[in-house]
Structure 1
Amino acid sequence: MMLNYHPTIEMLTDYAAGSLPLTYSLAVSTHLEQCQECQQHVRKLELLGANLFTKKAPDQQTTDTLKETFFDKLNAEVEANTATQAVASTLENAEKAPLDGYCIPRSLRQFVSRNYDELSWMRLSPAVKIATLCEEDGVQVALTRIKAGAHIPTHTHAGEEITLVLEGAFSDEKGIYSCGDFVSRNAKHKHKPRVTKDAECICLTVLDAPIEFTGWLTRFLNPIMRRHHPSTQRG
């Protein structure tokens, strides 16, 4: 499956180095389960990092030779492992047998054992509900579930918002996002996500500050969002 939206190379580098905060690492890990392109990037970054720590500084000619040999071997390994990973993934998915027809990502099974219905959902509207999975250092990781054809009202971001599509698809002013796509928004963005009409949409979200609804009918939700976000509960 070809995905159109991915974590930045800076985020993947921090993830490979083990320096990305756990809340963001959870979103990246979930994306990696579906994205072979980013899997390859992370594998290269990890091996490059290991190579830098274990080898003495060589001259330029040796460096060029090492790089050429390194990437040749790496690409060969990635191609050889792709078929094995695909078979393993198929077998694992067959064992899940989720009750709601959805396959829970491996990285989220510590929070969702069998199906999304088992979570404690907070309803924002008849079409939108949210379930918090974890909180750390003022950052909230949650699932957002939106009915087919519905939308989240226009809002801005006081901080950074990472959205990873787990099921279904949605669109906003900048594009269409399908299962596996990794979308980043910040305080510069204002959007109105709308779910496609064929199926509900479930997204993993990482928020370091609560979103702010801008419509005069929906602003009453802002105190609720602030009250349930860990960044406003500290101090």
Structure 2
Amino acid sequence: MKSMNFSPTLTSELSNFIIENQIGKERKYIYNIILKDDDRGYFMLKNAAYINRNIKNIRYAIRNIVRIVKALKSYSHLDQSKTFSSSNIIEGMETTLIILNNQIKYGIDVIKNFQEIPLVICNPDELNQVWTNLIQNSIQALKGKGKIEISVFPWNGYVVVEIEDNGPGIPAKIQDRIWDPFFTTKDQGEGTGLGLGIVKGIVEKHKGKITLNSNPGKTVFRVELPINPENNIVKVETRNKKL
């Protein structure tokens, strides 16, 4: 009988298979297969480990699908709500990132720096459009390689959102024009169809302010939104983490 060597990876997978499936009485039989180099048993165990690995991959995929469906359900209400309510800016940002996840290339790192913030009186659907536009601009500027850093923090009675990328920057000669209605530097068919002029209008509708600071290698859009001082603090678990 040809000796069958169990690689460390396969041995680890088999151990996990035994533990995860709570195999009790069969454990002794399985270990005997490993010790005796039983060819038939070897292939049975190898296939079992392979199936177990695929099941875990399927479960992971299902969790991702559920997460995306929830985000799409939340995002599908855009433009349906015209009222302002007390909302969590961070939840809106997380929803936006889930929606844009497929557009974020493997060469792009997304860094999230989220601090504890008060709730903001706002129209969350409109603000989600703002985050979508600004993040998509960064994605397109990076062309598949670079870093996007998103910071959310309280400051002097405001909640501040900063979206920074290390792309080529916006040329100084057009920086004053980016807020003009329908102005774009993108090719036809690119972008969200929501110009920065409309983004600025949404922010100003919320009594906020949006500014740009751009140089080669660093572009930062900063949005400042006033808060209600009586709101409670929103505690978040995600801070200083990569997406």
TM-score strictly above 0.5: no
TM-score (norm: length of structure 2):
0.24
TM-score (norm: length of structure 1):
0.24
Larger Rg: 2
